[in-house]
Amino acid sequence: MSEADDSRRSFMKGAALAAGAMLAGQMLDAPEAGAATAPIDPLLHGISDLHVHADPDVRPRSTDEIALARKAQQMGYRALMLKSHDWSTHDRAYLVREAVPGLECFGGLAMNRTHGDSVNVTAAKMTLKTTGRYCRCIWMPTYQSAWDASQHGGKGIPVVDGSGKLLPEVIEVMELCGKENIIFATGHSAPAESVLMSKKAKEMGVPKFVVTHASEDIWKLTMDQAKECLANGAYLEHAYLAAIFGPGTALPKYTRTPLEEIAAMIKLSPERSFITSDLGQAMMPSPVDGMRSFITGLLALGFPQKEIDLIARTNPAKLMGLDV
């Protein structure tokens, strides 16, 4: 072999190595690759799930927020609202949006003991000022509510005083939500407390008042209470979790609500109802699979597509402040 051949071979080898290094660098810097055509699920296309749980959290979760956002986007979702009982999620929604551009992602704040032993107005005010302004919901106390605690002989965070009147701090947070045009949600309040708050929300002109878990376990409204809340302008949330937890599942202590019963309450006013998954718990169906099953189940019960569109697409988007 001549010196010229040897030199040519060395040059080609060096060029190949340089090209490989450059390509590797580009791959490291490039966004995560995806399928050429996303496998959008027609049942899920355009929906918004306003109640999902994911890591990071203090409870075991089946996925993390970015992985869930990517999956939701792949299936054609329009929006997600992240929920943690203990931590704010509106600030994390800002970061999820950076990681998964194109998916509308929002969060909120649940008024549990992480933020004090009473409904914390200052926490609500700071939430509403956070970068991006992606807070779309403030929930009253959830698993640490006075109502939940009373079921086990404990003492939780109240929303009413000893005479049964709404506490001033609850009314102040309701007023803040009304001014910002975001959701004020009842959290894990007693059904009677939810009715009381719906009356106050109507009096104050709060446009986005939501009864959380309207058809679920110990927070479930009676049909008469549901009608009263609807008459007061409330939106009723119906979570698929209610239809699938209970004995024999990873959440055995809860009482399951038959899907037919949930459907009957939705039928009171599809215009003021919306569905969520409330999933993300470890060893339970994923939020995406749960929403698919929820919609499939309602269709099997005779719901027309226009009502599915209302409760899974139009109403959730409206509550998120998105164009409809």
Q: What is the mean pLDDT of residues 120-133?
A: 97
62 has pLDDT over 50: yes
Residue 37, pLDDT score:
57
188-205 pLDDT tens trace:
999 999 999 999 999 999
H helices of 181-310, in order, are: 191-204, 223-231, 241-244, 259-266, 287-300, 305-309
* SS3 of residue 166 by DSSP: strand
99-115 pLDDT per residue, tens: 999 999 999 999 999 99
pLDDT, residue 313, reads 98
pLDDT, tens digit (0-9, with 9 covering 90-100), for 180-192? 999 999 999 999 9
- The three-state (H, E, C) secondary structure of 12-29, written as one string: HHHHHHHHHHHHHHHHHH
Bridge partners of 209, per DSSP, are: 184
Q: Give 53-108 as a DSSP string.
A: --BSSSS-BSSBHHHHHHHHHHTT--EEEE--SSS--HHHHHHHHHHSTTSEEEEE
What's the mean per-residue pLDDT of the chain? 91
Strand order in the sheet with 48-52: 48-52, 79-82, 104-110, 135-139, 183-185, 209-211, 235-239, 273-276
pLDDT of amino acid 127: 97
pLDDT, one tens digit per residue, over 279-302 is 999 999 999 999 999 999 999 999
Is residue 321 over pLDDT 90? yes
Given a cut of 60, whether residue 26 has pLDDT beyond it is no
Please, how many CA atoms are within 13 Å of residue 172, restricted to the half-sphere of its CB? 11
Query: How many beta carbons lie within 10 A of that of residue 277, not counting itself?
Result: 26
- Work out the percent of the chain whose per-residue pLDDT is above 90: 87
Residue 235's pLDDT band, with cuts at 50, 70 and 90, is: very high
Least confident window among 149-153, 278-282, 308-312: 149-153
Homologous superfamily of 39-319: Metal-dependent hydrolases (3.20.20.140)
**Domain locations along the chain:** 39-319
Reported confidence tier of residue 5, pLDDT bands at 50, 70, 90: very low
